[in-house]
Structure 1
Amino acid sequence: MYHPDSAYVSWRTGQNGSTTFDLYTRRAPFGGAYLLVAGLEAAVEFAQSFRYTDDELKFLAHIRDYDAAFLDELAELRFTGEILAMPEGSIAFPHEPILRVTAPFREAILLEAGLLQAIGLSTLIATKASRIVYAAEQGRPRRVSEFSFRRAQEPMTVARASYIGGCSSTSLLNAAYEYRLPATGTVPHALIEMYPTEKEAFEAVAEAYNRYTLLLDTYDVRRAIHTAIEVGLRFQETLGHTLAAVRLDSGDLVADSIYVREQLDKAGLHSVRILASGDLDEWKIQEILQKGATVDSFGVGTALGSGAGSLEQQVEGGALGTVYKEAWYVDDLGNEYPKIKIAGAKSTWPGKKEIYRHPEWKEDIIQLSHEPRPDSYHRLLKPVVRNGEVVPGSLPPLSEIRELAQYNLNLLPEHYRQLTVTEPYPVHFSEGMQALRKQAFDLVGGIEE
C-alpha cells in the first residue's frame, strides 16, 4: 500500500527525478558466507509487465482519495528505466547490490515489493539447494532430488531455483514440463499398504516397470530388504526388470542403510542404489554421512521448499532479508544527490555502484560507477534492461544458468562453502565510496557509527 501512497506524494510535489535503488541483503542465509543469485528472470518479467488495469485503478480510488489526474498517470505508467544485475547463477555476498535499478522515482518505488519477492525467494531457495547438494557430496557425488511440492509455498519457483542450486530433478510434474527438468519419484507408503502383504506390493511394482524403486520402511526395514532382494532377483530373471534402488524414509538412516547395503552386496546387487528422504536438510545429511550412512542419493522436501533454518543449529531461515534502498537522485535540473539512511548497522551506502571481484576470489570491491576498474578484477553487474527493454542475451536459458551456478560454486574457495563459517568473505568499499558516504552523512547532519 505504501508504494502508491509514496508515488502520490511524489506526484503532488512534482518530485520524480531519476533515482537509483540497490537491492541487496545485509547477511548471508543459514549461517553461511554466500548467496547463490536466482530470480532475475522473474524480476525482469515483473518489471516489464507492471501496470494498473482499469479495475485496479477503480479499487485504488475506492480505498484512497487520490486525485483523478494521478490515477490517469498510473494508467499509462510503464517501466522505462535501467536494471543492472548479477546474472542468475552468480555468487553474491552481503551488502553487494544484486540489482541496481535506475528509473523515475515513481516507477522505481512502485516496483519495490515485486522485485524483492522475485529475487529474495529464488535466491533463498537456490542457496539452500546448493548447501544441501554440497552436504550430500561429501567424498563423492550424490544426487539430490527436490521433493517439496506438497509443502512449498511457491512450488514452481522452488523447483526452478533448486535446479539452479544443483538438484538433479524435481517431483513436480508441472515444473518438469514447464522448465524441461528431469522428473523423479518412487512410490508412497499407501501403495504398499494397499496390498495384503509387502511381498505382493513389491511384486506389483516389479512387474509394472522395467526399472523400479522399492520403499522399505512401511513396516520393518530389515525384513523388507530381504523381501525386496528376493523379488528383485526373481523379476530380473523372469522379466528382465531391474531393481534400480530402494528408499528409506524414516528410522535410523545410518544403521539401516549400512544393513541394507550389506544385504544387497551379499546378494550381488551392487548396482542397487539406496535413497534416503524424510525431513532432511544439509546438517542432517552431513551428520548421517559422517556417521557412515551408505546412502547414494537424497530426496529433500520441506526444508528445501520453505528455505528452512534449523532450531538445533540455531540458524534462522524461511526468508531472505533483502532490502531495496535509495542510493542516488538526479532532479529535473540535473543536480545530483547521494541518498542515505542512517540507522547504525542498517545505515546504507549512497551512490551508483559497481562491484568488482578479484580473479582468485581474494576480495570483492564495491565502488562508485565512475571509478576505474581495479586491474584484472571482474565486473559483476551486467546490463539487463535499458530504457525499459530487455538487453538481448541477458536472460539465458535455465540450463545455462545452472551451468554457470555450478561453475561459480566450484570456484568459490572451499572455506566459504562450509555450512557454517567463522570468517566472512572480504567485501571492501572503495575510498570514493567511503568519502561519498561521509559527505552524505554531513549533508543530513548524521553521526556515522
Structure 2
Amino acid sequence: MKDGRNLTLVMDFYELTMSQVYFNQHKNEEVVFDLFYRRNPEKGGFAIFAGLNQVIEYIQDLHFSPEEIDYLRSRGQFTEEFLEYLSQVKFTGDVWAIPEGTPVFPYEPLIRVKAPLIEAQLLETALLLAVNHQTLIATKARRIVQAAKGKAVMEFGARRAHNFDSAIQGARAAYIAGVAGTATTEAGKQFSIPALGTMAHSFVQSFDSEYDAFLAYAKMYPDSCTLLIDTYNTLHSGLENAIRVAKEYLEPNGHRLKGVRIDSGDMAYLSKKIRRRLDEEGMQDCSIVVSNSLDEYLIESLVDRQGAKIDAYGVGENMIVSKDSPVFGGVYKLAAIEENGVMEPRIKISENEEKITNPGYKNLYRIYNKEDGKAVADLMTLSDEVLDESEDLTIYHPMNKWKNKVIEKDTYEIRELLVPIFINGELVYRQPSLLGIRDYCAREQETLWEEIKRFTNPQIYYVDLSEKLIDLKLDMIKSKR
C-alpha cells in the first residue's frame, strides 16, 4: 500500500554519480543485473523470499520531483542535461522475480532486471533494501514457526523494530512465513493481518488491585479475554485472580476465559503448574500464552525437551530484527551487457571464491522428483537453453565441473522459478493476496526434505549450473585472469 512518500532518493549516491558518467558517455545500453545472496542466515538450509511488493511499488512510482531535482542541482555534481533526463525518467525495462514465499538458496537470482543501464543502476539500493529486510524477517519467522510445531506464534516486535517501516513490513514478512498475527495495528490495517493484543503490566498496575484490572478487562472483552498474570506473583496471585474472574463473572454470563499470558519466569515450570490448576477448575479450554525474549532455540527446547504446556508464543525482538543474524547480505551484480544487439556476459572475479558471480542472461529452474514431489536441486542455465524432461539431465557444481550429478529421464519434472513482473516498464504480474502468499509459502516448504530444514548442520541443497553455463564461467575466469 502506497503511503504518499516519494522514495526515489532512497538510493546510494554513487548510483547517481555513476549514472552521470554513463549519461556523458552516451552509455545507456541494455544490461542485465541479478539480485542474489551468498549465505543463509544463521547457517540455515534456506531462506524465504519476501519483499517483492515493495519492489513493485518502488518501480511503479520511480520519478524525480522538482524538489528532488533542485536538491541534486544544489550538490553541484550534475549537469543540467542529466538533471533534465532524471526529471523525465521512468522505468521502461523488464523485471523477472521468484514469487514471494518461495524457499530460496544462495547464488540464485531472486530478481533479474533487464533495462537500460541508468534505469537498472538506479534501482539497486531500493531493491536490496526491500528484499534484504523482508527476506531476513520471513526466514527468521519461518524458523520460529517451525520450532513451535503447530502451536500459534504471534509477532510482538514493533517496539523493538528499527523504526516504523521496519515494524510494519517486518510484520508482513513474518505473516508470510506462518505467524498467526501481529501486535502491530498498522500492519493489520494495511495487509489484513490479524491484529492481536491483550494488556501490559501497566494496565494491571493502574488499578487498585489485580482482580479489579482483570474484571474490568473481562467486562469489556468477555469473548476474547486473555489476562496477563505475572505482574505480582504468577501462581499465587495472577492465576488465582484470573480463575476468580472466570468463575465469578465470565462463566455466569455465558463466557469462557480465553487465555492467560506470562511474560517472565521459568516458562516450562510455570506452564505446567498453570495447566494443572486450570484443568482442576474445568478450564481445559483456557490457553496458556508465553512471551519474553523467545526464539526458535528456546521454543524448540520448551516443546521437545521440557514438556512445557504452552499453547501459543508471542515473539518480539528476536523475530522482528532477526537478532541472532541481523544482516541478510543480498547483492546486485551486473551479469550481461548488450553489444551489437547481443547480450554479452559479464563476470566479477575475486580471490574469494564465493564472490565470483555467475555470468550471462540466465534462467532458473527447480527440479522435482516425480515420485514424491520433493525438490532435488535448482538449476541455472543461459536464457537460450531449452530443457527436455524426456532426456537425462546433468547438473554441475558452480565452480568444479567434475562435480556433477545425472538425473535420469522420466524421474524428474522442472518448474521455471523466475516469473515476469514488468515487461517494457508495464506491470504484468497479478499480485496474489497476502494470505495467498502465506499459503503458497507453506506448500512450497513441504517440497523440501526435512534434513534441509534442520536448524543445526542442515543438508546443503544443490544450486547447480548447466554445462553451457559452467563452461562459460570457467572460460571467462581463465581469460580474465
Normalising TM by the smaller chain, what interval? over 0.9
Once the two structures are superposed, what CA deviation does each residue of 1:174-230 show, in whole Å capped at 9, x if it has no partner? 111111121111111011111222222222222222220111111111112122212
Candidates 211, 225, 229, aligned match of 2:239: 225
Candidates 131, 155, 174, aligned match of 1:162: 174
In the other structure, the counterpart of 1:312 is: none
In the other structure, the counterpart of 1:257 is: 271
The answer to whether the Cα contact below 8 Å between 1:84 and 1:385 also exists between their aligned partners in 2 is yes
The answer to whether the Cα contact below 8 Å between 2:343 and 2:361 also exists between their aligned partners in 1 is no
In the other structure, the counterpart of 2:28 is: 16
Deviation of 1:392 after TM superposition, in Å, equals: 4.3
> How do 1:32-111 and structure 2 match up within 5 A?
32-111=44-123
In the other structure, the counterpart of 1:293 is: 308
**Secondary structure of 1:162's aligned partner:** helix
Amino acid at match of 1:390: L
Tell me the distance in 2 between the aligned counterparts of 1:413 and 1:199.
Answer: 50
Which 5+ residue runs of structure 1 have no aligned equivalent? 310-316
> How do 1:278-289 and structure 2 match up within 5 A?
278-289=292-303
Amino acid at match of 1:263: R
The answer to whether the Cα contact below 8 Å between 2:50 and 2:173 also exists between their aligned partners in 1 is yes
Q: Does 1:151 align with 2:165?
A: no
**TM-aligned CA distance change 1:392 to 1:31, over 3 Å:** closer
Candidates 275, 285, 290, aligned match of 1:271: 285
Q: Does 1:427 align with 2:481?
A: no
In the other structure, the counterpart of 2:151 is: 142
Amino acid at match of 1:319: V
Amino acid at match of 1:298: Y
Q: Does 1:319 align with 2:327?
A: yes
Amino acid at match of 1:320: F
Tell me the distance in 1 between the aligned counterparts of 2:222 and 2:229.
Answer: 19
Tell me the distance in 1 between the aligned counterparts of 2:60 and 2:375.
Answer: 34
In the other structure, the counterpart of 2:449 is: 413
The answer to whether the Cα contact below 8 Å between 1:280 and 1:301 also exists between their aligned partners in 2 is yes
In the other structure, the counterpart of 2:419 is: 382
Tell me the distance in 2 between the aligned counterparts of 1:47 and 1:124.
Answer: 21
Deviation of 1:374 after TM superposition, in Å, equals: 4.9
Q: Does 1:440 align with 2:454?
A: no
Q: Does 1:241 align with 2:255?
A: yes
> How do 1:351-370 and structure 2 match up within 5 A?
351-359=360-368, 360-370=374-384
The number of equivalent residue pairs is 433
Once the two structures are superposed, what CA deviation does each residue of 1:394-433 show, in whole Å capped at 9, x if it has no partner? x212121111111112222111112223431111111111
The answer to whether the Cα contact below 8 Å between 1:356 and 1:374 also exists between their aligned partners in 2 is no
Candidates 319, 323, 328, aligned match of 1:304: 319
In the other structure, the counterpart of 1:391 is: 428
Tell me the distance in 2 between the aligned counterparts of 1:374 and 1:384.
Answer: 26
Q: Percent identity?
A: 36
Tell me the distance in 2 between the aligned counterparts of 1:409 and 1:189.
Answer: 38
Tell me the distance in 2 between the aligned counterparts of 1:194 and 1:374.
Answer: 70
After TM superposition, the score normalised by the length of structure 1 is 0.94
The answer to whether the Cα contact below 8 Å between 1:209 and 1:241 also exists between their aligned partners in 2 is no
Candidates 301, 312, 337, aligned match of 2:344: 337
Deviation of 1:115 after TM superposition, in Å, equals: 0.5
The answer to whether the Cα contact below 8 Å between 1:52 and 1:75 also exists between their aligned partners in 2 is yes
In the other structure, the counterpart of 1:25 is: 37
**Secondary structure of 2:257's aligned partner:** strand
Once the two structures are superposed, what CA deviation does each residue of 1:75-112 show, in whole Å capped at 9, x if it has no partner? 11111000110011111101110000000110000110
**TM-aligned CA distance change 1:148 to 1:361, over 3 Å:** same
Once the two structures are superposed, what CA deviation does each residue of 1:99-138 show, in whole Å capped at 9, x if it has no partner? 000001100001100011111111111111111110111x
Tell me the distance in 2 between the aligned counterparts of 1:347 and 1:235.
Answer: 67
Once the two structures are superposed, what CA deviation does each residue of 1:312-331 show, in whole Å capped at 9, x if it has no partner? xxxxx112100000000103
**Secondary structure of 1:26's aligned partner:** coil
The answer to whether the Cα contact below 8 Å between 1:36 and 1:90 also exists between their aligned partners in 2 is yes
**Secondary structure of 1:384's aligned partner:** strand
The answer to whether the Cα contact below 8 Å between 1:213 and 1:245 also exists between their aligned partners in 2 is yes
In the other structure, the counterpart of 2:229 is: 216
**Secondary structure of 1:150's aligned partner:** helix
Amino acid at match of 1:149: A
Amino acid at match of 2:474: K
Tell me the distance in 1 between the aligned counterparts of 2:214 and 2:67.
Answer: 56
* CA-atom RMSD in angstroms: 1.3
Amino acid at match of 1:275: V
The answer to whether the Cα contact below 8 Å between 1:206 and 1:241 also exists between their aligned partners in 2 is no
Deviation of 1:10 after TM superposition, in Å, equals: 1.0
Amino acid at match of 2:117: F
**Secondary structure of 2:474's aligned partner:** helix
In the other structure, the counterpart of 1:171 is: 183
The answer to whether the Cα contact below 8 Å between 1:116 and 1:322 also exists between their aligned partners in 2 is yes
Tell me the distance in 2 between the aligned counterparts of 1:77 and 1:271.
Answer: 60
Tell me the distance in 2 between the aligned counterparts of 1:329 and 1:163.
Answer: 38
Which 5+ residue runs of structure 2 have no aligned equivalent? 1-12, 369-373, 390-412
Q: Does 1:404 align with 2:440?
A: yes
Tell me the distance in 1 between the aligned counterparts of 2:243 and 2:102.
Answer: 45
**Secondary structure of 1:363's aligned partner:** strand
**Secondary structure of 1:243's aligned partner:** coil
Candidates 370, 373, 386, aligned match of 1:372: 386
Tell me the distance in 1 between the aligned counterparts of 2:344 and 2:97.
Answer: 22
The answer to whether the Cα contact below 8 Å between 2:153 and 2:180 also exists between their aligned partners in 1 is yes
Amino acid at match of 2:344: Y
Tell me the distance in 2 between the aligned counterparts of 1:232 and 1:135.
Answer: 31
In the other structure, the counterpart of 1:313 is: none
The answer to whether the Cα contact below 8 Å between 1:207 and 1:241 also exists between their aligned partners in 2 is no
Amino acid at match of 2:255: H
Q: Does 1:194 align with 2:219?
A: no
Deviation of 1:335 after TM superposition, in Å, equals: 4.3
